Structure 1
Amino acid sequence: MEILGVKFAPLNVPLERRLQTLAVAICVFVLPLVSVWGYLITVYLIFYTETLRYFLLLYFLWIYYDWDTCHSGGRSEMWTRMARNNAFWRYFCNYFPLKLVKTVDLDPKKSYLFIGVPHGILSIGIFGSFGTDILNCKKLFPGLEIRPITLDQHFKTPIFREYPYSLGTCASSLKSIKYLLSTPPKNPYTGRITVLVVGGASESMESKPGTYRIIIKRRKGFVKLALKYGTALVPVFSFGETDLYNQIYSPEGSTFRRIQNYIRNLIGLAPVVFSGRGFFQYSFGLIPKRLPVTVVVGSPIEMPKIEEPTSEEINKYHNEFIEHLIKFFNTQKHNYVKNAENVTLELI
């Protein structure tokens, strides 16, 4: 039904779909603000409760003891199994729906650095595929411990920090990634996958429906780390990620982009102005559109172990990875992109 140009959802939408929309809405509306709520709840417990404040002091001691866990491999599976596999995340993944596809088997005794592209507005495909167990990532890659990387500031907020920890994520610090690439996992795992979205917040400002713009030409640190530890690089592409939202786009050099970059440098998050759909209508809102996202894992590029790689060596293997990424995109896009012949991969 359409009224004044606004497309409304029908009244007889099944409960299952309503619950899927609710789960995604919670992630979009509540979770980005949980860090704020973490501080507000902490202040309230300290100043306005008589008993709970003492438990909070014990919790602060735990935070002090636990402060470096996000840089040293994250929580064990005993603490993450239930959080990563429950009805909430099932509704979340089925909303779009999300799908995870592997193209080759990986050696369970090796270490891999998954390079996820594109970031999109919220990197929903990578999060749903590797931050939860709903899409069976551990069954697709048996023997491999999976550790997604997220902003290290998420682990510094009281109470809220337990949320990213519960999903098995680790901090995006150099110390954290070095630890993951150099330290063998604990039993029962024999190898490890570290999932890194190299474009980060900057790439979210390049997200437009029907386009795939990847910030990777000037991102070479991941290649240096892969060479230092002899870790294979694996391209991972989220087809459909950029279609979930529209946004007000301004090219590099424009006044609006300069303001965005300033705020991003200040808070670590990109201030994108985006629009998807609402609860009861499909024309505008902050909920992502109900469109399929398929995360496809490519074949690995083996890296030699070079303790101190030179600039020439880094550039060489960086170029090899880019060529591999382009070939991978062009091979797979016809399976997941409409009008694939008109869609190209733009590298900046």
Structure 2
Amino acid sequence: MVEFAPLFMPLKCRLPTFAVLHLIFSYLALHLICWVVFIGLLFTRFWMISILYAIWRYLDRDTPRQGGRQSAFIRRQTIWKYTKDYFPISLVKTAELDPSQNYIAGFHPHGILATGAFTNLCTEGTGLSSVFPGILSHLMMMHWCFWAPVFRDYIMCGGLVSSDKENAAQILSRKGGGNLLSIVVGGVQEALNARPGTYKLVLRNRKGFIRLALTHGADLVPIFSFGENDICDQVENSPGAWLRWFQDRIQKSTRGSIPLFYGRGVFQYNFGLMPYHRPITTVVGKTIEVQKTPHPSQEEVDRLHQRYMKELENLFEAHKLKYNVPRDQHLEIC
């Protein structure tokens, strides 16, 4: 029996739904539509628009790898407030971030769509600039996401940047500090494990961000987003299943894969691609001070990595009961 949403609802209830619908559309289809429009215009009398954009795109090709191009106007749009209200999403600070320092933040877990990472770190939906004054946030994303025309410019406005080592070096080397470079460490591989009630992180062998922190003397910030895995279900893909085998092959060959997720619909509650109304609470842990080491040894990297994992586990244990995680539930780090 399909359970439909009430026909008449206040506008304040409808707007968050359509804000998240916009977010899902942007994730799944906007980049493809941008390609279709760009190529399609070449065969119309408006072909010059695509040509002019192609010239601009060529001249601007390195921007995603050079710190991006943020827009405070886009980041402060009201639509992100409605996105936050839908779940709702909240940002919790446990310690200050000194705006004279640069930081690398590890964001955990990825979840299906990294919704908490995007809303908290790429928009002002939860008031990032008020919570951490003087901090400019950047979130790393796979470089192929910046290939699509116009779409690349749109996502850069929020602070998304290419996940290249050179790009990270450029941001972390800026004089004056105040830069927070966030990395969703588990990536797509972790997203394939995301489902309600799970706390499985891909982290044990992810040490590149640790080496970056040592090389540039950037303090580390562990971030755990409670509820990130709870907003969508995923088609069964346990290790050994044919679907997981297929997803792993795609991930190894393209560095990307899309989890087959599902949730509720826009006008009914039984099926669809809309996330569930479940809270996401993103907790920013205390900083781990890092001594600049231009050429860190593997031993130094391993030692700091162990400390980071310990601090992340402490953060999870300290806050889990507040956010409805069972007392006997612990992080599984693989």
The 3-state SS of whatever aligns with 2:314 is helix
Amino acid in structure 2 at the alignment position of 1:182: S
Choose from 224, 231, 256 the match for 2:218. 231
Give the corresponding residue for 1:75.
69
Q: How does 1:251-290 map to 2 (within 5 A)?
A: 251-290=238-277
Give the corresponding residue for 2:158.
167
Task: Say whether residues 1:221 and 2:208 are aligned partners.
Answer: yes
TM norm structure 2: 0.96
Task: Say whether residues 1:22 and 2:15 are aligned partners.
Answer: no
How far did 1:118 drift? 0.4
**Deviations 1:303-333 (Å, cap 9, x if unpaired)?**
1111111111111111110011101100011
Task: Say whether residues 1:344 and 2:330 are aligned partners.
Answer: yes
Choose from 324, 327, 333 the match for 2:320. 333
Task: Say whether residues 1:92 and 2:83 are aligned partners.
Answer: yes
How far did 1:270 drift? 2.1
Task: Say whether residues 1:63 and 2:57 are aligned partners.
Answer: yes
**In structure 2, distance between residues paired with 1:17 and 1:158:** 33
Choose from 175, 189, 205 the match for 1:184. 175
TM norm structure 1: 0.92
The 3-state SS of whatever aligns with 2:275 is coil
Give the corresponding residue for 1:302.
289
Amino acid in structure 1 at the alignment position of 2:321: H
Give the corresponding residue for 1:133.
124
**Deviations 1:277-317 (Å, cap 9, x if unpaired)?**
00122122110001111111000111111111111111111
**Deviations 1:23-61 (Å, cap 9, x if unpaired)?**
111221344212211111111111112xx3223322222
**In structure 2, distance between residues paired with 1:30 and 1:131:** 14
How far did 1:152 drift? 1.4
**In structure 2, distance between residues paired with 1:200 and 1:269:** 9
**In structure 2, distance between residues paired with 1:32 and 1:223:** 31
**In structure 2, distance between residues paired with 1:293 and 1:157:** 30
The 3-state SS of whatever aligns with 1:146 is strand
Shift in CA distance, 31/257, structure 1 to aligned 2, threshold 3 Å: closer
Amino acid in structure 1 at the alignment position of 2:56: W
**In structure 1, distance between residues paired with 2:50 and 2:208:** 39
Give the corresponding residue for 2:108.
117
**Unaligned stretches of 5+ in structure 2?**
none
Give the corresponding residue for 1:209.
196
Q: How does 1:311-326 map to 2 (within 5 A)?
A: 311-326=298-313
Amino acid in structure 1 at the alignment position of 2:108: V
Give the corresponding residue for 1:149.
140
Give the corresponding residue for 2:8.
12
The 3-state SS of whatever aligns with 1:180 is helix
The 3-state SS of whatever aligns with 1:149 is strand
The 3-state SS of whatever aligns with 1:216 is coil
The 3-state SS of whatever aligns with 1:341 is coil
**Deviations 1:168-225 (Å, cap 9, x if unpaired)?**
221111111121112236xxxx421111101111111111201111100010111111
**In structure 2, distance between residues paired with 1:26 and 1:267:** 26
Amino acid in structure 2 at the alignment position of 1:152: H
Choose from 98, 114, 124 the match for 1:107. 98
**In structure 1, distance between residues paired with 2:124 and 2:183:** 17
**In structure 2, distance between residues paired with 1:30 and 1:162:** 13
How far did 1:149 drift? 1.3
Q: Give the RMSD, CA atoms, in angstroms.
A: 1.5
The 3-state SS of whatever aligns with 1:257 is helix
Amino acid in structure 1 at the alignment position of 2:315: F
**In structure 1, distance between residues paired with 2:157 and 2:218:** 26
**In structure 2, distance between residues paired with 1:109 and 1:218:** 31
The 3-state SS of whatever aligns with 2:182 is strand
Identical counterparts, % of pairs? 36
